[in-house]
Amino acid sequence: MLISYLKSDIEVMEQRFRTNLINSIAGFKSTNLIGTINHERKTNLAIFNSVFHVGAHPPLLGIVCRPHEVERHTLENILSEKHYTINHIHPNILTASHQTSARYPRDISEFDACALTEQYSNTVKAPYVKESRVKMGLELREKIDVRINGTVIIIGEILEIMLEQNIIHKDGFAELEAVETITVCGLDAYYKTSLLSRLPYAKAK
Amino acid sequence: MLISYLKSDIEVMEQRFRTNLINSIAGFKSTNLIGTINHERKTNLAIFNSVFHVGAHPPLLGIVCRPHEVERHTLENILSEKHYTINHIHPNILTASHQTSARYPRDISEFDACALTEQYSNTVKAPYVKESRVKMGLELREKIDVRINGTVIIIGEILEIMLEQNIIHKDGFAELEAVETITVCGLDAYYKTSLLSRLPYAKAK
């Protein structure tokens, strides 16, 4: 049976209940590790459940940052150094990836604390996660301040993509299921996927 | 074996290949039907793969709109009428939901064309999808123009949530898998999910 929550019900919910509910009803989300580096070459790695597609030409991705949360090192590093990496998560690195959400002090890199390996390319100065099977290097293009709640949206252009060649279909589709890319619901529930169907381009009858 | 695509490779890709590749490497996304109504009470329904979480208090969701695509009726209706609904998709309505992406003329409602049923509440004037098992009614709060590619981000506040009571855990987490909410990769590949694990709140060791 369907039940309804109205705005007035949501406002008086216990805070943790509301956070879990609202974070989960948005639907399944991508979950990624974002790698950054600061001007002293200290690296940072943080799990984000908020990467979203903005455009393909130029290739643009967005991320949502709360300025006052653990993610602030990531945001500061992106704003100062311009480069960052987005790395997919698979089951073998899930526990380590989730652990990056702990509040480590700035002088400890989550790469070390969570036993993930830094990897560098010639294109971006931020570190990739070596264990990740699909990863992208990006450069900051636009910072958007969301007025209503102080959230910051970061939009970056993809400068580099690294992935398993055999997951790319002839039409460009990347079969993420084949490399076990994980999806997340809410703050902490991680899922694997199985294909229902690829549907053809829809035309009005 | 990992292969790399650089910015220069992406720029010269065949357009459809690039669109599929960039849309899929962002990871798994939520897929939802967005219901709107115009000032003449003509309804519109469109599938969006771009709903994202912006905040829990107040409860805010974002959607990404391309101004020049089929989704424009949705954007116009949200801007003029302020209300819209976001409705989850399950396998029984997947084919109908995907069909809403076809380019129907403005005087044809996708509800009729795709055999989905309008449902109304006392809270928002936009139509819900009766067949959907998790749905939200929203009010426009902020319109953001993304300068770099002309995309529009719409941020709305949740005024109403309707869902199956038995999927809500004690901590507020909504178990979307129990109502078969679908996730999407790229433009057209739809997936069901299965839980790997819910992980506890991470603390630095």
Reference B190, options A176, A166, A145; nearest CA is A176
Q: Give percent above pLDDT 90 in chain B.
A: 93
- State whether A165 and B1 contact (CB < 8 Å): yes
* pLDDT top residue among A71 and A53: A53
Give residue-wise pLDDT tens across range B16-71: 999 999 999 999 999 999 999 999 999 999 999 999 999 999 999 999 998 665 55
- State whether A188 and B199 contact (CB < 8 Å): yes
3-state SS assignment for residue B21: helix
- State whether B19 and A197 contact (CB < 8 Å): no
The CA distance from A195 to the nearest CA of chain B, in Å, is 4
Q: Tell me the pTM.
A: 0.96
pLDDT for the residue numbered A197: 97
Name every residue whose Cβ is closer than 8 Å to that of residue B11 and which is 6 or more positions away in sequence.
none
pLDDT band at A71 (very low <50, low <70, confident <90, very high): low
Which residue among A23, A201, A205 places its CB closest to the CB of B56? A23
Q: How far is CA A133 from CA A87, A88, A98, A189, in A?
A: 8, 7, 17, 21
- State whether A142 and B146 contact (CB < 8 Å): yes
Which residue among A19, A49, A53 places its CB closest to the CB of B26? A53
Indicate the average pLDDT of chain B: 95
Task: Note if the bond before A67 is cis, omega within 30 degrees.
Answer: no
ipTM: 0.96
- State whether B148 and A165 contact (CB < 8 Å): no
pLDDT for the residue numbered A205: 80
The CA distance from A117 to the nearest CA of chain B, in Å, is 16
Which residue among A13, A157, A199 places its CB closest to the CB of B190? A199
- State whether B149 and A99 contact (CB < 8 Å): no
Give residue-wise pLDDT tens across range A134-175: 999 999 999 999 999 999 999 999 999 999 999 999 999 999
Give residue-wise pLDDT tens across range B172-202: 999 999 999 999 999 999 999 999 999 999 9
